[in-house]
Structure 1
Amino acid sequence: MRFKDGAEFYTVEQLSPRREKTPEGFLLCKDVPISRVGEFDYTPLETGIAGKGGKVVMSRSEAELFKPETMASFEGKPVVIGHGQFADPDNWRKISIGHVQNVRRGEGDQSSLLLADLFLQDAEGIRLVEEGLLTEVSCGYDAKSIDDGNGRGHQEGIVGNHLALVEKARCGEICKIGDGFMKPKSWKNALRRFFKDGDEEGFNECLDSVEANPVGDDGQGEPAPAPTAEERLDAIEKSVAALTEKVTAMEKPTADEEPPEPQEGAEGNEGGEADPDAEIVADEEVEQVMADADELAPGIAKPQGDGEGGKFTRGLVGRIKRNALKLSGNKTFGDSATLDGQALDVAFKAAVLLARSKNNPTARGFGDGGQQTPARPSNSELTTKYKTFWEGK
C-alpha cells in the first residue's frame, strides 16, 4: 500500500504513472491533454459561418487557449459522458461523473497542449475509463466565432462548461486519458475481453503494447541477436495459441455440450466459479437501473426478483436493460436481444444519456467531440431583449 503525504489528493494506490485511486475508490487521472492549439473542422451549423465544401476550418490560437481567463473557466467544471447537454445547476447532479482541476499549459513538447487533472467519482465513469471504453476527452465550451472568410474562422472568448468522455475527440488521440502501462492483471483481462468479443484489432494492439526484455545471467556482455521475422512470428503464434487455450477453458459450454457436473460443496460451474447471471445485484443498483429504464421507456413494468428472498439477479437486470432498449425503439446500438455483458451495459447507459439529451434542450457551444445544438441567448442578450420588451409597453 502506498501513502503520500503532502499531495493535493490522498491516494493509496497507483494504477499507472498517471492514474491513482483514493481509499474510497475514486480515480485521479493526471496530466490529461484536454485541448490543443491548432485548426479544427466544424460544420457551418456549429459555427454560424458560411462553410466551404460543407465545413468550416476554425483556428484556436495560443493567445486565446492559454489566457488566464480561459484556463480558469475550466477549473472545477464537471466531467460528463458525451456532449448530450451543457452543464448547469439544474442538470449537474444527473450528468456529472467527476470534475476538472489543475488546468495549466503544458511544458516542453507539450507546450501547445492544455493539460488538466480529472477526479472521477462515479462508478460507471470510472469503469468506462479503466476498461478503455471511453478514454478520449473533449471540451464543451462557449466561444465567439470570428469569420475570416473563405470557409475559415477563429475562436475568441473561450469559456469552459464541461469536459466529456468521448469515443473520438476532435483534436485526435492526443486528447486522451493517459495510462503509461497496464498491470499484468488488467492486460490479461483486456486480452480475454478482446478474444471473447472477436476484436482482432484490439487483441493485436494489446499484444503489441507488451514490451519483452531479454534476460541474461548478469546483464553484461554482447546483446542477444535480434530475432528473425520467422522467429518472432513463431513466438507470437505460440503465445496466442496458449492464450486461446486458456480463454477457451474459461468459456461457458455451448448449447451442444453437456454442462460440467458441479463439484460437491461448490456452487456454479467447474472450478467453484458461480454463474455470473445468478449473481445477486445490490438493491441500490437495481433501483438505479429501473430509474434509468423508466427514463428510457416510460411506464416499463418492474418484474419480481428471481433470486433468493426476492432479490434481483444479474441475468434479470440484463433482461430489464434489453427490454428497455427494445421498448425505446433505439436502434443505434443494434438489436438489443444480441447485447450482453459490457456491450449491453454501455449501450444501455448511452441510450439513457441520449434520451436525456432529447428531453432537455441544450445550449449551443463548441464540443470538440461532436456537433452541438443551436446556442441560447447570453445573459446580456436576454437583459437587452427584456428591456426592449418592457419599454414598448
Structure 2
Amino acid sequence: MLAYYGYTISPNQIETGEGFLICRNVPIARTGSMDYLESELNPAGSSSKMVKVMRSPEEVFSEAALSSFEGKPVTNEHPPELLTPETYSLYAKGHAQNIRKGAGEWDGYLMADLHIQDEELIQAVQGGKREISCGYDCSCSDNGDGTYSQHDIRGNHVAVVTRGRAGKNVAILDSEKKIEANRPERKGNMKNSLFFKLFAKAVKDASPEELESMAADAADALGEEEPKKTEPAAPPVKEEVKDFSSLDAKLDKLMDLLSAKKEPEVDQDPLDGLIKSLTGEAEEPAPSAEAKVVPAEELDGCATKTADKAVMAEVIKQLRPVIAGIKDSADKKAVTDSLIACLSDGSAVSDIAKIAAATQKNAARLADKKPGIDLDACQSAYDAMNPHKNGGKK
C-alpha cells in the first residue's frame, strides 16, 4: 500500500519532517471541452479565434496517458517549453505521483498526489496559489464542425498556476492551512531506543548460560519499577496479561507461546510471524486507489514510540532459545513477563543505568559460580600455544 508519512495540516495536505509539502487527491486534468485559441492548435496560423477542444475519457484515461504523467515534474507556472533532462533542474519544484482516474464526485477527472520540495512554491500554495494546468504533448483532429479533439496525450509536467484553463475545480484542494504542524519532542524516544540497542548488543555474543543469567537479572531490575497497587496485599496469584494495545497483545501472545507446555500445532512458527510483524514483513493489504497517510503527529506520541520495532524483534530472536530452555516454569514466566513489560511499556525502563547494574550483577554472579578459575594459568596456557610467544614452536 502506498503510504505518506507526515504531519496533517489540512484534510488533503501534509507536511513532512523536512518541511516538504504533499498535496493529496489533486485533480490535475478533466474530460470534456476547453477553450483554445485556434493559433495554439496550428502554430503556423495566426488566428485569434476561440475554438472548443474535446478530451474524451478514452483518451484522458488511457493507460499510456495515465502512465505518462507518473513521476513528472511539478513546476511553478508553465516553463517556456516542454521539459527535458537539460532543462529539468531549471524548472522542477517537485513531482507528481499516484496518477489515477477519479471516482465519485471526481468522476471525469485525472487525479494525482503532488510532492512539492521547493520553498518558494510551498509558500505560494499555502498563500492561495492552487489551480493546476498540465503540460503535455498530443495530436489534434478537426471534427468538421468547428471543434477539435485531442489524441495521444503524453504528460510532460504539472504546473501550479494562478489561473488554469480547466477551471477552478482542477486545483489543489483545501483553501487554507488548517493547523500548524506539531512535531513532538523525541528525546525520550532516543533514550529508550538506546536501551534496546544496548540490550540487543549485550546478548549478541553471550553464551547460553550468560544469556539466561542476564535475562533473569534484567527481570529483577525491571521488576523494581512495577506500579504500586492501591488494593490490600493478597497472596501471589498467577496474573493474566491483558488489555494491551495492539503491539502489547502480540507480546502477550509471545508469553503464552513461550510458557506453553506443548508446541502449538501450526504450520508456521508463531514467533516467526510475530517477528515479521515487528520488522514490517507481514502480509500487506490489497492496494487501494488513494495513498494511505501515516500520521506522524499520532505515531510520535503513541505508546509504541519507546522502542524501534526492528530492535525489539532482534531482542526476541536472541532471547527466545534462552527463555525456552529455562526449566523452572515460574522463572520462565517471570523472565517472560519482564520481557513483555520491557518491550510494551517505556515507563518501566526510565534509566539506562538499570541494565548496566543488571550486567554488573550478572558478572559478579558468574564470578561467584566459578571461583576456581585461575586467569593467570589460563593466560600461561594460551601463551604456550601461541607461536608468536614461544619462538614459533607449538
| TM-score computed with the length of structure 2 as normaliser | 0.43
Which structure is richer in relative contact order (CA contacts within 8 A, separation 6 or more)? 2
